[in-house]
Amino acid sequence: MSMQAVLLAVKKLVHEHCGLVLEGIAEDRLYKALESGAAQTNCKNLQEYKRLIRSDKQAFEQLISQLTVNETYFFREPEQIQLLVDVLIPQVLAHKNDAGPVRILSAGCSSGEEPYSLVMALQNTYGERTEQLFHIDAGDLDLRILEKARQGIYSEFSFRGVEPHWRERYFQTSTNGYHLRQEVRKQVHFHPLNLLATDFPEHIKNYDIVFFRNVSIYFDTDTRRVIQHTFNELMNAQSILFLGSSEILGNDLGVFELAEQEGQYFFIKGDVYRPVNSQAFSWSQPVRTQADPVARSHELVRKERLLPAQSIEPSRFNRSLTDKQSVAQPPVEQARVPDLARIQQLMRFGEPQRALHLLDHLIASGHQHYSAYLLKSWILLNNQQFQETEHFLQLALSAEPWSIDGMLIKGLSCKWQNDLSGAQQWFKKVIYSCPECWPAHYYLADICRQQGQASAALKAYQTVMRILSDNPSASDCMLWIPLPLPVGDVVFLSKRHIEQLSNGMQTTRAGY
């Protein structure tokens, strides 16, 4: 069995088990995990290791743990937590009217910063009554990270952007890190949780509030849909679902209703928590007919995963893709001109056709801004429609010749058409106008490496590392284009290439 075949088989296994998509840059992570897994388990080769993970649950779980991205920190997106505690919790308490504690789930909790932040914020408002008023569960697929969550010991890194008073009040400093106080730790019940499972333990149910933030980015649309149906089963008839703010549109799949309050977006089930003046504009309304997938069994929905979205869920938006008349005579809401931020979100969530449809709508409505051309050229480039890409890129660059996004797309267009020296020139031009644009350094490094220019490649990877290790949330300098470059992966790969290139250069020097 070839190496490619092993990779393909493991990707499939992992995707079916937990939904993680290991394409593109994540493929390198998979490769590294397979190599180290095989070495640790004394397998002769990757094929033997593949057989092992098929038969040995523990070995498989260890591999999964290598593949998850556990990036998290305390009080991430604090505006959401504030809205929850100040505005929504009082409504939930009023609605429940003493019928048991408010049940909260942090799904994909990683090392625990999210559920613990919720406890701290609740304690801040509800004091000693927190324990009696709230039941907080937290679950993750990765058993190793759950163990870390239970320990509650953190490094400086988990406190990015956290107001110092939280740390002073709830943590004890020790030589090995910041220890979360027992009064907070005891309030979170951690459980192993695979959101793609078909059966859930008896105690995982009846939630009033679910936090599912920064997890769906690792899934494709079909998996996200399956997981939403799962949540639908695990949540109470009146309940609230939070996702990361950049994930909202990619999860607006017609299962839950999108709501907005005080500028924060979330999903609701039932109508009790629907904000009075919600500004939410949903592309896909929840379908509440007999054919409603919500009413179907989870198992059936899983089976339908491979069907195209439209056949599962005739959302208003999907209909409009095929039904010309509904585009010509849109309902009042649909007639609003879509804004670019929403189109960007769709692109980030791997929904280029929906994004393209809206862009065409936007451009046809007279929106001549260069950003619309940029976004369109980016989608076309990803479809490998190089001539059309060039056309729209030209329109964008003639309006804004020094657009970082435009020049970077140009570089990638050259790269993907194998014009490596053209690509190099464009990436250098980007770096000239924006020296901190780490994606340009990264792409440049890759090309230099491919062309055997080891020292130039090394220098460019080192620049990437300098920018990102100083500040892991450094901007990629793109104003419009959601580049498919997760920082964790870029750091991981850059380190690896630096190591290999340095070793290679030492060997070459030694050879002289």
Q: Which is nearer to ligand SAM, 219 or 283 (CB)?
A: 219
**Pick 149 or 423: Cβ nearer ligand SAM:** 149
Q: Give whichever of 193 and 259 is closer to ligand SAM, judged by the CB atom.
A: 193
- What is the SS3 assignment for 358? helix
Closest to ligand SAM by CB, 149 or 309: 149
Instruction: Report whether 371 contacts 342 (CB < 8 A).
Output: no
The rounded distance, in Å, linking the Cα atoms of 485 and 489 is 7
Kindly state the DSSP code that residue 285 receives in the 8-state scheme.
P
Q: Pick the closer one to ligand SAM by CB: 218 or 265.
A: 218
Closest approach, Cβ 217 to ligand SAM, in A, equals: 8
- Is the CB of 140 or the CB of 405 nearer to ligand SAM? 140
User: What DSSP designation does 85 have?
Assistant: I
CB of 255 to ligand SAM, least distance (A): 17
Nearer to ligand SAM, 233 or 339 (CB): 233
> Comparing C-alpha atoms, which of 349, 386, 392, 389 is closest to residue 368?
392
Q: How far is the CB of 218 from ligand SAM (least distance, A)?
A: 6
Maximum distance among all Cα pairs of the chain, rounded to whole angstroms: 80
Task: List Cα–Cα distances, 283 to 252, 354, 415, in angstroms.
Answer: 7, 10, 35
Q: Which residues bind ligand SAM (CB under 6 A)?
A: 18-20, 68-72, 76, 108-110, 114, 140-142, 145, 193-196, 213-215, 218
Q: Under a CB-based contact definition with an 8 Å cutoff, are residues 111 and 158 in contact? A: yes
Whole-number minimum distance, CB 487 to ligand SAM, in Å? 11
Q: Which is nearer to ligand SAM, 80 or 389 (CB)?
A: 80
State in angstroms the smallest separation of the CB of 67 from ligand SAM: 9
Q: How far is the CB of 228 from ligand SAM (least distance, A)?
A: 13
List the Cα angle 416/475/280 in 5-degree steps: 95
Instruction: Give me the least distance between CB of 437 and ligand SAM, in Å please.
Output: 24
CB of 325 to ligand SAM, least distance (A): 40
Contact call for residues 473 and 8 (beta carbons, < 8 A): no
Give residue 199's identity as a one-letter amino acid code.
D
> By C-beta, is 26 or 374 nearer to ligand SAM?
26
CA–CA dist 146, 136 (Å, integer): 15
C-beta of 303: minimal distance to ligand SAM in Å?
18
Give CA torsion, residues 145, 148, 149, 152, to 10 deg. Answer: -160
Rounded to whole angstroms, the Cα distance separating 102 from 80 reads: 17
Range list of H helices, 307-351: 309-312, 316-322, 324-328, 340-348
Distance CA 155, CA 146 (A): 16
First to last CA, the chain: 39
